[in-house]
Amino acid sequence: MKICVVTPYFQENREWLLNAHASVKAQTVPARHILVCDGTEPAQIPDFQGTHIVLQRNYRDYGNTPRLIGCYNAMAQDADAIAFLDADNWYYADHLAFLTDIASRAGLGAVASSRMLHRLDGTPMIKCPTVDGHVFIDTSCIVVFRSAFRHLISWVLEPQEKAAETDQFLWRVLREAGTPMAFVDRASVAYRTRHQVHYGQAQEPHPPGAVRRTDLHGDRYH
């Protein structure tokens, strides 16, 4: 199975982006990383393995247009599966192997995992109590397979004011289209959180500058 991982980025912390890329290279199954630079200075990544697409403008839609461009590139590379990874997050080593094996055995068109909340310094806190595959999903937890690729246009179908919620929209479109899909309650994605509410859930003080919001969506750029 040929797996591509799409990561858009805009003015991202370079060390975090390096960590995300390293986690793709460290997967227990081969995966090709597609980085999409969303109109900022391209990141310099030593020993980069994959495809680096540099866009000439910032689309200001939380990375959704770059994600779709990355999906088109993955399809051109004859991908069997397309996964997503936000630049400030990373995969645990068997994330892709575990999910693609489940999907292959069950004939699924899409699958997603839960996530582990990590502090800004990368240390783990708690398994996320919010991502459940029904009420809430996370971009970095989703893998879509060839039979459902046609639904990936959903990344750009929401209006600008709802762009931060497009991962929820995509998951709903897949479900409503009758795509065979599953949520696996196994935290194999590391989510580096800036949200006060997550520190509250872990019963510890939030760091200076933590984001005060309650919708729990990812820390996607504008």
pLDDT at 218: 47
Please tell me whether residue 140 adopts helix, strand or coil conformation.
helix
Q: Look up residue 138 and give its two tokens.
A: 């996370």
What is the third-level CATH fold of 3-112+140-157+167-184?
Spore Coat Polysaccharide Biosynthesis Protein SpsA; Chain A (3.90.550)
In this structure, the number of other CB atoms found within 10 A of the CB of residue 132 comes to: 13
pLDDT at 122: 94
Report the DSSP beta bridge partners of residue 55: 38
Q: pLDDT digit of tens for each residue in the chain (222 aa)?
A: 999 999 999 999 999 999 999 999 999 999 999 999 999 999 999 999 999 999 999 999 999 999 999 999 999 999 999 999 999 999 999 999 999 999 999 999 999 999 999 999 999 999 999 999 988 999 999 999 999 999 999 999 999 899 999 999 999 999 999 999 999 999 999 999 999 999 888 889 888 878 886 444 445 543
| pLDDT, tens only, 108-147 | 999 999 999 999 999 999 999 999 998 899 999 999 999 9
Extended strands (E) in the chain: 3-9, 32-38, 50-55, 81-84, 90-91, 110-118, 124-127, 142-145, 181-192
pLDDT at 213: 65
CA-CA-CA-CA torsion for 121, 125, 126, 127, nearest 10 degrees? 20
* The residue to which tokens 């020993």 are assigned: 47
Q: Look up residue 179 and give its two tokens.
A: 């795509």
pLDDT at 222: 38
Question: pTM, whole model, 2 decimals?
Answer: 0.94
Q: Are 3 and 29 in contact (CB under 8 A)?
A: yes
